């Protein structure tokens, strides 16, 4: 069964690129434009989502807050969450890990890199 990925990014172009890449690799993709929408869609599709990809810098609710909120939900305690971020500083990683992220992927990335990482996590 196709695995489902929730992709959260406020940039439409990047979201479309991510979704297109993942869809062409056979994944089902749910898109959200910010943390608030991401959380709502995560809640609505809780049992289906196998992986969450989230941008850090977003209006309304940022990535870290989204990760923390998701980890607070019983269905998302163990779901892998990857942060897509332009920062790769240690401080960001510390924060990301503390929030409960599974890993990070530095922007800009190319689609192949994205698939490589996603495959490593959920196959």
Partner 1 sequence: MSIDMSQFYQVFFDEVAEHLASMESLLLSLDLGTPDADQLNAIFRAAHSIKGGSGTFGFTDMAEVTHILETLLDRVRKNEITLTHDMVDAFLQAGDVLRGLLEAHQNGSAVDGVASVGICAKLERLTEGAAAMPVKETPSDVLAKVDADTEKRSRRQSVPSTAKSSPPALMQHTYQIQFANTRSAFPSKTHLKNLLKELNNIGKIDNQKITAKKVSLSLVSLESETKLREIFSFFLEPKQLTITESGSTLYSDDESGYGFFDEPERIRSILASSESSAGAESYGLFIEPEAIKSGVENANGYGFFGEVENQAAASPELNARKDDIPGRRETDRAAAAAAAAAGGENSIRVGVGKVDNLVNLVGELVITQAMLAEAASDVDPVLHERLINGLAQLDRNTRDLQESVMSVRMMPISLVFSRFQRVVRDSAVKLNKNVQLKIVGESTELDKGLIEKISDPLTHLVRNSLDHGIEPPDERIAKGKDPQGTITLSAAHQGGNIVIEVSDDGAGLNREKILAKAREKGMPVSDNMSDWDVWKIIFSPGFSTAAVITDVSGRGVGMDVVKKNIDAISGRVDISSRPGQGCTMSIRLPLTLAILDGMSIAVGDQIYIVPLGFISESLQPHVGDIKEISGQGQVVHVRGEYLQLIALYKLFNIQPRVTDPTEGILVLIEAEGKKVALFVDELVGQHQVVIKSLETNYRKVPGVSGATIMGDGRVAMIIDVGALVKMAHLK
Is 12 near partner 1 (CB under 8 A)? yes
Of 8, 11, 68, 73, the one binding partner 1 by CB under 8 A: 11
54 forms part of the interface with partner 1 (CB under 8 A): no
Can you read off the two tokens belonging to residue 59?
């209006």
Give the tokens for residue 60.
């309304």
Instruction: Report the candidate in 123, 39, 61, 56 with the shortest Cα–Cα distance to residue 95.
Output: 56
Residues 44 and 64: beta-carbon distance below 8 Å:
no
**CA angle 28–68–76, rounded 5-degree value:** 45
Interface with partner 1 by CB under 8 A: which residues? Answer: 1, 10-14, 16-17, 20-21, 24-25, 28, 30-31, 33, 37, 41, 44-48, 50, 55, 57-59, 75, 77-78, 80, 82, 86, 88-91, 93-94, 96-98, 100-113, 115, 117, 120-123
């Amino acid at each position: 069964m196709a695995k489902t990925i929730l992709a959260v990014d406020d940039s439409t172009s990047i979201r479309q690129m991510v979704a297109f890449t993942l869809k062409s690799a056979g994944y089902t993709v749910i898109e959200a434009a910010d943390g608030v929408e991401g959380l709502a869609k995560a809640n609505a599709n809780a049992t289906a989502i196998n992986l969450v990809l989230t941008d850090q810098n977003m209006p309304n609710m940022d990535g870290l807050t989204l990760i923390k909120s998701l980890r607070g939900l019983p269905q998302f305690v163990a779901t892998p969450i990857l942060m897509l971020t332009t920062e790769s500083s240690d401080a960001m990683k510390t924060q990301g890990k503390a929030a409960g992220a599974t890993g990070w992927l530095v922007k800009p990335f190319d689609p192949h890199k994205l698939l490589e990482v996603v495959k490593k996590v959920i196959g």
